[in-house]
Structure 1
């Protein structure tokens, strides 16, 4: 095992509004919020994130004209070691890395983005 699944992050135009909606729907609390993202967590530790995207276009499910917009967030204890193992398995480190020292973005072998991150808090 390389990582532990922690949650999914949804792209949206207004991350705080969408987090407020799901927070009420699920009864989950906000555990992190900044100018570009907000994360909710359940009492069991499951997380749901919302990421602000400029020029967001909502998915047109199910016809697929605009694909669903989400990615997996995976928690690791060592970013460098996890990166090495993921690349060995066929992942590609994305060119754009907005996470600084906290998270890294990769593409799976089919091209889907996912992030690895250190534990929050």
Structure 2
């Protein structure tokens, strides 16, 4: 049974919230809000905000290390992959050495080392096949 809930923010752990928030502001626009240098909110006006939280023990996720646990990553739809890539590299992103998406999407690392993707509209589209109401879960999938 679903409850009444809506996603209002995604919080990203990092060593320097102000720096990382400014990076994503360069991609998305919006306003930065903060109560301290340890927690910064990027409000873009698109409904869901990005929050940046300082953590002392931050370590970038290794990409692509199949032995490392996968964590959440962000995907952004862009009009022009090449232009967006150049813009993001200028803001401080790094192009990941492994690129599984061909011309559909690119993997970059933000200034704190988090992998994220930029994708064409076709790659960002919602799959057209609806998932069954209660698909069977395998033992390796979290519930």
Question: What is the TM-score when the length of structure 2 is the normalising length?
Answer: 0.43
* Larger-gyration structure (1/2): 2
Question: Which protein is richer in strand relative to its size?
Answer: 1
Higher relative contact order (CA 8 A, sep 6+): 1
